[in-house]
């Protein structure tokens, strides 16, 4: 048992956690007559206190006493449930909640105060969200359910078993970090899909654009450019969405680089934030201008989860990490800048992660900054060309000009600095 708290304080905490769960259960059945409820506010409080007392008694009687107390409580609850199974309030959920409440009281006395409190709060939230959870089941369809399960598989299961250590040539690859980026991109794709479905096309376009700025603005640029060709009336807001996503990329690049190496924050902030400003200003204008012109019947993407795109990003990231290490070992700083330009054609994140990490291990800060800005600028030029080639002249005038201006200005600032 923890020595950080006195027994009285721990017992009070255990009692309060039981009260928390009991308030939710009691509130649900508050309209019923006194005595007609199987368990309410007082019962759940006492159950949690029972768990705490059982742990205290186990110090004298042996650890098995907690198991005996838990089993006795379970038998009593099951018997009560069986006798009252015809009542409306005879809920199996309440039975499970009572057993959990006993466990939370026991955990508090064992020293797991934070864990028990967190679990009690989560339990109360789940119990109170019965109606919402049931409505969500009717809201989603089979492909969305499978997408959610796939996301859980790659994030909860696979991520937990992947080794978190450097390996491969030059120790350039960390499987955990690479897979984490796959999970991140898939998650934002999933959230963006439901943003469009729940909030509607008009709000969903902008929500998706903001999410895509943290995942893959290149993919969003391709999708929105195609939509603009199909629905010309929506092109102002679609262009605004592209610019918002692309503009978000620049502070995201700054944030990621600064987290990996804080010394990059100051020299990288001036070019990246200037590029973001040049992109955001026309985006805001297009957003106000086109907010009323988006048709209501624009559908979200066909699939909630772009898993294959995320896996392709993982492969690209691995290749970029290997190439950056190889070029630095053979060509020095010149090879790094060449690779940065080539990497920007596909995505900025791999080279940003690579150069930021290398700057902690001896790569000059100015070389890292220039390489990151080169990658971001090349990526901006690529997306500008994509907008014009796929979306047409009007989309080019609305979106491409701003991206080209941001790329040129960012390169000039980085070169001067």
Mean pLDDT of the 188-197 span = 66
Q: Which of 108, 135, 162 delimits the end of a domain?
A: 135
Which pLDDT band holds residue 138 (cuts at 50, 70, 90)? Answer: low
| Number of domains observed in the structure of the chain | 2
Instruction: Assess contact for 179 and 314: CB atoms under 8 A.
Output: yes
Mean pLDDT of the 199-225 span = 70
With residue 351 as reference, give the H or E element that holds it: helix 349-359
Residues 117 and 223 placed together within one structural domain of the fold: no
Burial class (CB in 10 A: 0-12, 13-18, 19+), 175: middle
Mean pLDDT of the 335-356 span = 74
Please report whether residue 1 resides in a domain.
Answer: no
Please report whether residue 14 resides in a domain.
Answer: yes
Mean pLDDT of the 257-266 span = 85
Instruction: Give the Cα separation of 279 and 243 in Å (integer).
Output: 6
Residues 97 and 205 placed together within one structural domain of the fold: no
| Per-residue model confidence as pLDDT tens digits over 124-134 | 888 777 766 66
Q: What is the pLDDT of residue 375?
A: 87
Is 60 exceeded by the pLDDT of residue 80? yes
Residues 163 and 98 placed together within one structural domain of the fold: no
Instruction: Give the Cα separation of 208 and 287 in Å (integer).
Output: 14
Q: Which of 112, 135, 158 delimits the end of a domain?
A: 135
Instruction: Give the Cα separation of 379 and 345 in Å (integer).
Output: 5
Residues 103 and 180 placed together within one structural domain of the fold: no
Residues 117 and 39 placed together within one structural domain of the fold: yes
Is 50 exceeded by the pLDDT of residue 225? yes
Burial class (CB in 10 A: 0-12, 13-18, 19+), 308: exposed
With residue 38 as reference, give the H or E element that holds it: none
Residue 55 to residues 3, 14, 52, 104, Cα–Cα distance (Å): 14, 12, 5, 11
Residues 360 and 340 placed together within one structural domain of the fold: yes
Could you tell me the sign of the dihedral formed by the alpha carbons of 403, 407, 408, 409, in that order?
positive
Q: What is the 3-state secondary structure (H, E, C) of 251-305?
A: HHHHHHHHHHCHHHHHHHHHHHHHHHHHHHHHHHHHHHHHCCCCCCCCCCCCCCC
Instruction: Assess contact for 336 and 357: CB atoms under 8 A.
Output: no
Q: What is the pLDDT of residue 1?
A: 45
Q: Share the mean pLDDT of the chain.
A: 77
Q: What percent of the chain has pLDDT over 70?
A: 72
Instruction: Assess contact for 261 and 364: CB atoms under 8 A.
Output: no
Of residues 375 and 181, the one with the higher pLDDT is 375
Q: What is the pLDDT of residue 2?
A: 46
Q: What is the pLDDT of residue 295?
A: 58
Q: What is the pLDDT of residue 313?
A: 64
Please report whether residue 170 resides in a domain.
Answer: yes
Instruction: Assess contact for 327 and 266: CB atoms under 8 A.
Output: no
Q: What is the 3-state secondary structure (H, E, C) of 8-29?
A: HHHHHHHHHHHHHHHHHHHHHC
Is 70 exceeded by the pLDDT of residue 137? no
Residues 246 and 272 placed together within one structural domain of the fold: yes
Is 70 exceeded by the pLDDT of residue 18? yes
Whether pTM > 0.75 for this model: the answer is no
Instruction: Give the Cα separation of 54 and 341 in Å (integer).
Output: 66
Which pLDDT band holds residue 245 (cuts at 50, 70, 90)? Answer: confident
Residues 363 and 391 placed together within one structural domain of the fold: yes
Chain length of the chain: 417
Name, in order, each residue with C-beta under 8 angstroms of 85's C-beta and a sequence gap of 6 or more. none
Closest CA to 259 of 117, 356, 165, 126: 356
Asked which of 75-84, 142-151, 283-292 is least confident by mean pLDDT, the reply is 142-151
Please report whether residue 367 resides in a domain.
Answer: yes
Mean pLDDT of the 72-78 span = 85
Please report whether residue 2 resides in a domain.
Answer: no
Instruction: Give the Cα separation of 193 and 204 in Å (integer).
Output: 8
Q: Which of 135, 158, 185 delimits the end of a domain?
A: 135
Q: List the domain range (segments joined by +) for residue 247.
A: 140-416
- The 3-state DSSP class for residue 173 equals strand
Residues 191 and 337 placed together within one structural domain of the fold: yes
Residues 64 and 168 placed together within one structural domain of the fold: no
Which pLDDT band holds residue 409 (cuts at 50, 70, 90)? Answer: very high
Of residues 202 and 315, the one with the higher pLDDT is 315
Instruction: Give the Cα separation of 125 and 273 in Å (integer).
Output: 40
Instruction: Give the Cα separation of 186 and 176 in Å (integer).
Output: 15
Residues 205 and 255 placed together within one structural domain of the fold: yes
Residues 108 and 156 placed together within one structural domain of the fold: no
């Amino acid at each position: 048992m923890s020595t950080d708290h006195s027994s009285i304080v721990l017992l009070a905490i255990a009692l309060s956690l039981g009260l928390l769960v009991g308030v939710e259960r009691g509130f649900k059945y508050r309209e019923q007559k006194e005595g007609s409820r199987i368990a309410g506010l007082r019962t759940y409080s006492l159950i949690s206190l029972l768990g705490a007392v059982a742990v205290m008694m186990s110090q004298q009687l042996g650890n098995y006493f907690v198991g005996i107390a838990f089993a006795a409580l379970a038998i009593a609850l099951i018997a009560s449930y069986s006798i009252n199974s015809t009542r409306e309030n005879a809920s199996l959920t309440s039975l499970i909640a009572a057993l959990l409440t006993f466990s939370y009281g026991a955990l508090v006395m064992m020293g797991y105060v934070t864990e028990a409190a967190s679990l009690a709060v989560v339990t109360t939230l789940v119990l109170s969200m019965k109606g919402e959870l049931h409505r969500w089941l009717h809201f989603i369809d089979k492909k969305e359910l499978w997408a959610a399960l796939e996301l859980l598989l790659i994030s909860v299961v696979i991520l937990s078993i992947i080794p978190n250590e450097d390996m491969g040539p030059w120790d350039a690859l960390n499987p955990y970090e690479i897979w984490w980026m796959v999970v991140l991109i898939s998650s934002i794709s999933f959230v963006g899909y439901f943003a469009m479905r729940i909030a509607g096309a008009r709000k969903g376009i902008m929500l998706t654009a903001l999410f895509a700025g943290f995942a893959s603005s290149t993919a969003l640029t391709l999708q929105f450019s195609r939509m603009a060709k199909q629905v010309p009336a929506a092109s102002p807001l679609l262009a605004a969405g592209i610019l918002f996503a692309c503009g978000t990329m620049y502070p995201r690049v700054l944030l990621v680089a600064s987290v990996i190496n804080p010394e990059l924050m100051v020299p990288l902030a001036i070019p990246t934030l200037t590029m973001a400003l040049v992109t955001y200003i026309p985006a805001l204008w297009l957003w106000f201008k086109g907010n009323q012109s988006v048709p209501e019947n624009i559908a979200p993407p066909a699939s909630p989860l772009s898993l294959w795109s995320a896996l392709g990003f993982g492969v690209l990231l691995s290749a970029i990490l290997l190439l950056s290490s190889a070029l630095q070992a053979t060509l020095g700083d010149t090879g790094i800048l060449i690779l940065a330009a080539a990497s920007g054609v596909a995505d900025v994140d791999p080279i940003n992660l690579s150069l930021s990490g290398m700057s902690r291990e001896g790569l000059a800060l100015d070389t890292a900054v220039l390489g990151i800005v080169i990658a971001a600028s090349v990526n901006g030029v690529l997306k500008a060309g994509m907008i014009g080639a796929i979306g047409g002249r009007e989309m080019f005038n609305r979106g491409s000009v701003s991206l080209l201006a941001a790329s040129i200005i960012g390169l000039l600032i980085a070169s001067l600095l």
